[in-house]
A = this chain, B = another copy of it.
């Protein structure tokens, strides 16, 4: 069993990005600039944004953090989005989700200029992903593809089961795994809350990508010998032994599943660090205007 070390891979990619940024800057080019809008003080969001800012530093990017209290109006937020769309110094930006209930997330996402949408949530980027055109790929699926690539995991013709059909993980993940690419070319099955045959599908899978947000959902009896298991889950579970009072728990019951796997990602330290590094890769692409002019 090989433990997929997302922390090590992401550290290496950040070094690669930093080296490329220094080359760009040395050649007189512009340092990539990522802006983030954070609304309110949700604990998870604070952590994610702080980690993104830290990753920007590691990559040699300029970063800006724009904060609003939870009572910001939708109009104010949309005005800021438009300002960032127009700001030539900002190469890409994100609006950290979730947003307070009085603000339409979809409206905000669609207001972002797709050429700066480094989260890859805008319909144009989602559509281009489906068609197989160059685009900003949403961060978690992109990070998983990078892990499969760097660990030389064979996917062509394999049975890949994706658990979950969310817009930001399950569906784009399925799309990427079925494309005529490497990694890709897999036989892809998407299972979800309505699936009657979920366990059976999992037992037959060569690759399982679990993204349903239910701690320890994938148990040992659901995984065949030699499978590759990618755990996207990061549910906060109360844990008195931790200083924070909680631990991050994956969708996979690691102790049972790991011994059966050829490859498996741990939680934390698997997919999580790759998600942030994928955002950094999109920001580098934005800075270089590699996808859109």
Contacts and interface: CB of A to CB of B under 8 A. Distances in A.
A130 B197 CA distance: 23
Interface stretch (A95-103, A117-125, A275-283): A117-125
Given A126-B130, A127-B122, A167-B131, A185 B194 contact: yes
Interface string A151-182: 00000111100000101000110110011100
Given A167-B132, A189-B187, A189-B188, A157 B195 contact: yes
A72 interface: no
A130 B127 contact: yes
A236 interface: no
A198 B132 CA distance: 23
Nearest to A191: B187
Most chain B CB inside 10 Å of its own CB: which residue of A129, A174, A178: A178
A133 B107 CA distance: 12
A135 to B, nearest CB: 8
Given A122-B127, A123-B127, A187 B195 contact: yes
Interface string A64-106: 0000000000000000000000000000000000000000001
Contacts of A201: 187
A242 interface: no
A249 B178 CA distance: 26
A190 interface: yes
A288 to B, nearest CB: 21
Contact of A159 (B127, B180, B188, B197): B197
A39 to B, nearest CB: 21
Given A127-B127, A131-B123, A190 B192 contact: no
Contact of A178 (B178, B179, B190): B190
B171 A130 contact: yes
A78 B201 CA distance: 47
Contacts of A188: 189-190
Interface of A: 106, 122-133, 156-159, 165, 167, 171-172, 174-175, 178-180, 185-192, 194-198, 201, 204
